[in-house]
Chain A
Amino acid sequence: MTAQEVRLCGLLLREHFGEVVEKVGTHLLRSGAQNLRTIIHETGLPLDLVKKSLCVLVQHGACNFRSGRKGPGCPTEYQASGDRILRILRYPRYIYTAKTLYGDTGELIIEELLQRGHMTMSSTVKTVADRLTQNMEEGRSMDYSEVTSAFSKLVETQFLQRCPPMGGARNTKDTTPGTPASTALLTPESFPDCYKVPHITLIGRGKRRHSSDDGEDQKSAKKAKMDPETHGDEGIYWQVNFERFHLHFRDQAVISAVANKLDQTCSEIVRTMLRMSEVTTSPSATCTKPLSANEIFRSLPASYNILRPILDQYLTLLVDDPMEFVGKAGESGGGMFVVNLHRALANLARATLESAVQERFGSRSARIFRLLLRKRHLEQKQVEDFAMIPAKEAKDMLYTLLSQNLVQLQEIPKTPDYAPSRTFYLYTVNQLPTARMLLQNCYKTVANLIERRLFETKESKRLLEKSQRIEAILASLQVSGAEPEQLTEVEEMITAPEKQQLESLRLHINKLDSAENQVDETMFLLEAYVSSTATSTA
């Protein structure tokens, strides 16, 4: 993990779980796998705090444990996974996607699971039903079966998966005593029941929480309710399948790119193709399985009634496009077409790099950057000629890009002594290392935004506390039925400039939050591109 990633993980852990967990988490990230005693010793925290932090991390899937590397008698070692912690940044996007696909029920299910980490199906259903009932009008409540069906739909489309059982892992290890770290952490997919919905007996409706229950509900807000009833799915815990969400985001990025470049109908065709190959394509595949034009024609949504020859023309257009989103894989069935996923990701990553250079350095530097991406290696004179930029300015821009490490210099000597007057100096851009560098910049940017947000909150802490106190007083006065004059008197305790300050603080925090989400979109594209190249070269 790079320093920037560790810093960002630390900030995320601090925001969501507190400083103790942050300390333990960052320590584990920096030092790799360690056992309990070493963690206690090096962080200087008391035993029970370390235990609780590790529990929190394991509950959320951010930490894994396994028996020590030195042999079966060794104490268990804990290892934090930074990738999982970075996913916390993307929670809003997951929840929003679930809302668009499965409505409010789906949104709340995903939200609950993200908050708790692992949960059984029955407890999820009950909690979500209660929450939905809370927001409905008086007298209506949510039936458990509706929530259960939404849950099953989520499992069918693989957005939720079972957590790998921990006990089973230890059993397999007992049979092979001598093998050290060859027991790789088992992925959820390696279990056949990964996506099987258990049969649970859960009949009832959501309970509406009344304000008198507020006190005891707050106590159990963080802990799972101790439910005396059993519903037949003990020990089966569910978690959110992040990879599936990522595939969905990737598909959306490809579809919107096609819509931008070509037109709406083409993007609908690509959307159909991707939908058809959702479950048949493995996550790391270079391209989807070949689909025949007949199948595509049949699966198009009914609202798009385009004729068969027109569809053929659109498909030919897609294949001929220089971006190569769609490729032709054969002639049977009216033409077999695939969506080139890796190539689309590479093109999107390239567009991201180009836009970053354009916004930061200007359109002429962007012209030089694109020129070098296309033509690979060029001398300085050639760069000036192709880009049609005067020599002095081109030289200046090239050196600026070089100092920011966006462009590299390749020396080709003519003589064995690398005499400068007798060497060719060629400028070049390597897409993959540049993408990685930009990704690190994204991590640093998000960490900066979070720090700024915390700083702003800290600055106005006094003001925020005052406004909270006043709101609490107002609420209690309203409940106990006070007169309007008392209310206005309390409201006036906040002066106008203070109100303005609060308002601007609210705007600032919102802006910083939305900026974090925007940078996260860039992060997702670049991460997907980097991991796609890793699998294709492996």
Chain B
Amino acid sequence: MSEVKVKKEKNVSDPVEVENRIRELCQQFPHGITDQVIQNDMPHLEPQQRAAAINKLLSLGQLDLLRNSSGLLYRMKDAQSASKMKGSDNQEKLVYQIIEDAGNKGIWSRDIRFKSNLPLTEINKILKNLESKKLIKAVKSVAASKKKVYMLYNLQPDRSVTGGAWYSDQDFESEFVEVLNQQCFKFLQTKADMSRDSKQSPMVQRNSSFATSHEVWKYICELGISKVDLSMDDIETILNTLIYDGKVEMTVIAAKEGTVGSVDGQMKLYRGVNPVIQPTGLVKTPCGLCPVFDDCHEGGEISPSNCIYMTEWLDF
């Protein structure tokens, strides 16, 4: 009997073996392996079989496909996260990955759509799905109140999204800011008054009326009027508003590194000041405050002769 030559390809490996081999390689190189590495390891493997194995692993969710400057990278996926995604399909995994990449700033649904090229309805369905699985959460942004950004469930949202210490539940706390404003001003004013009463030489007087931003911060923390922890930067923004109110002035001095409260070798000093002039003469007349000043003409509906504001002011 003639032998039937059965061509046995010596290079044929079981697909499962290929996958296992690739998996081992991934574990060897936790940063990821390129196609080149797999080829070097199993030179007998044909590109088609390699591609099939890799695709199988990707679809099983055990490999991560990444791109770097030199080409594609394959990386082992966390077993934990792999279990999370069990039962989800590719699209959800894609969306989840995009959200994860956005870190703690979150990402808007429209941006997810751009990155994944999926239609809007699909995206919404997937997002609802993921939210119900408690994998992601939606956080309302303070910048635009209708905009919702999505981020991973256990991440703390960034300050720029929640607005930091001045916002609580997306509402700007104006009374809180006002109270802080007044307390800081009172502190600086009493300090200035004390130094003025001390009757020492003028230089000493002026220097003692200054307060560093660190001192003000300590005072406010000790007052305990704030439920939220305030940092020195927060106090500095409050003091800046006092400068814009014209009640406080600021100078910067060079300070030795390491002294309490110095930032980059300088300290900011604040001091209460008096206004330079009394309210100006124009505003002591009704015309200076009149809301219809531009409409007022002699002989018109609104004129100096029949001005009701003037009548009230004259009888005052």
Binding site for B on A (CB under 8 A): 256-257, 260-261, 263, 265, 310, 313-314, 316-317, 322-323, 347-348, 351-352, 354-356, 358-360, 363, 366-368, 370-371, 374, 386-391, 438, 441-442, 444-445, 448-449, 451-452, 455, 504, 507-508, 511-512, 515, 517-522, 525
Contacts and interface: CB of A to CB of B under 8 A. Distances in A.
A445 B281 CA distance: 11
Interface string B271-300: 001111111111111011100010010100
Nearest to A256: B277
A451 B298 contact: yes
Contact of B279 (A314, A355, A367, A449): A355
A359 B202 contact: no
B314 to A, nearest CB: 5
B282 A448 contact: no
B238 A388 contact: yes
Given A360-B288, A390-B172, 12 more contacts: A260-B278, A261-B274, A317-B203, A322-B249, A360-B283, A367-B241, A371-B244, A388-B238, A391-B172, A445-B288, A448-B296, A520-B281
22 contacts: A261-B273, A310-B202, A313-B202, A322-B251, A352-B282, A356-B282, A359-B279, A366-B246, A367-B241, A367-B245, A388-B181, A388-B237, A388-B241, A390-B174, A445-B282, A448-B296, A449-B287, A451-B305, A455-B304, A504-B315, A517-B281, A521-B281
B38 interface: no
Contacts of A515: 281, 284-285
B289 A359 contact: yes
Given A445-B282, A451-B304, A257 B277 contact: yes
A310 B289 contact: no
A387 B241 contact: yes
Contacts of B313: 511
Contacts of A314: 202
A448 B314 contact: no
B81 interface: no
Task: In the A-B complex, list the 5 residue pairs whose CB atoms are closest, starting with the nearest.
Answer: A518-B281, A359-B283, A445-B287, A448-B304, A455-B305
B181 to A, nearest CB: 8
Contacts of A441: 282, 287-288, 293
A518 B305 contact: no
A452 B281 contact: no
Contacts of B246: 354, 366, 370
Given A313-B201, A351-B277, A449-B285, A444 B307 contact: no
A219 B42 CA distance: 130
Contacts of A512: 314
A512 B289 CA distance: 16
A339 to B, nearest CB: 15
B166 interface: yes
A452 B238 CA distance: 45
A356 B202 contact: no
B281 A260 contact: no
B179 to A, nearest CB: 12
A356 B288 contact: yes
A507 B315 CA distance: 9
Interface of B: 166, 172, 174, 177, 181, 196, 201-203, 206, 237-238, 240-241, 243-246, 249, 251, 273-285, 287-289, 293, 296, 298, 303-305, 307, 310, 313-315
A93 to B, nearest CB: 12
Contacts of B203: 313, 316-317
A10 to B, nearest CB: 11
Nearest to A257: B276
B290 to A, nearest CB: 9
Contacts of A387: 241, 244
A441 to B, nearest CB: 7
A156 to B, nearest CB: 32
B278 to A, nearest CB: 8
A454 to B, nearest CB: 9
A354 B194 CA distance: 28
Contacts of B303: 451
B282 A522 contact: yes
Contacts of B237: 386, 388
B274 to A, nearest CB: 6
Contacts of B284: 515, 518-519
Nearest to A512: B314
A517 B285 CA distance: 11
A337 to B, nearest CB: 16
A225 B288 CA distance: 45
B241 A449 contact: no
Contacts of B278: 260
A367 B201 contact: no
A333 B278 CA distance: 36
Given A366-B245, A452-B304, A519 B285 contact: yes
- Counting chain B CB atoms within 10 Å of each CB, which of A265, A356, A367, A448 scores highest? A448
A444 B297 CA distance: 10
B17 to A, nearest CB: 58
A367 B284 CA distance: 20
B266 to A, nearest CB: 16
Contacts of A263: 196, 202
Contact of B245 (A316, A348, A370, A390): A370
Contacts of B202: 263, 265, 310, 313-314, 317
A32 B279 CA distance: 37
Given A367-B245, A445-B282, A519-B281, A348 B276 contact: yes
A316 B204 CA distance: 12
Contacts of A452: 304-305, 307, 310
Nearest to A253: B277
A352 B280 CA distance: 6
- Counting chain A CB atoms within 10 Å of each CB, which of B237, B244, B282 scores highest? B282
Contacts of B285: 445, 449, 515, 518-519
A344 B281 CA distance: 19
A508 B314 contact: yes
A444 B289 CA distance: 13
A520 B287 CA distance: 14
A362 B269 CA distance: 28
A187 to B, nearest CB: 30
Contacts of B283: 355-356, 359-360
Given A388-B166, A445-B287, A323 B276 contact: yes
Contacts of A442: 282
A445 B287 CA distance: 6
A449 B296 CA distance: 12
A310 B201 contact: yes
Contact of B174 (A356, A370, A389, A507): A389
Contacts of B315: 504
A360 B289 contact: yes
Contacts of B307: 448, 452
Contacts of A257: 276-277
Contacts of A317: 202-203, 206
A442 B284 CA distance: 12
A492 to B, nearest CB: 27
A504 B246 CA distance: 39
Contacts of B275: 260-261, 351, 355
Contacts of B174: 388-390
Nearest to A258: B276
Contacts of A366: 245-246
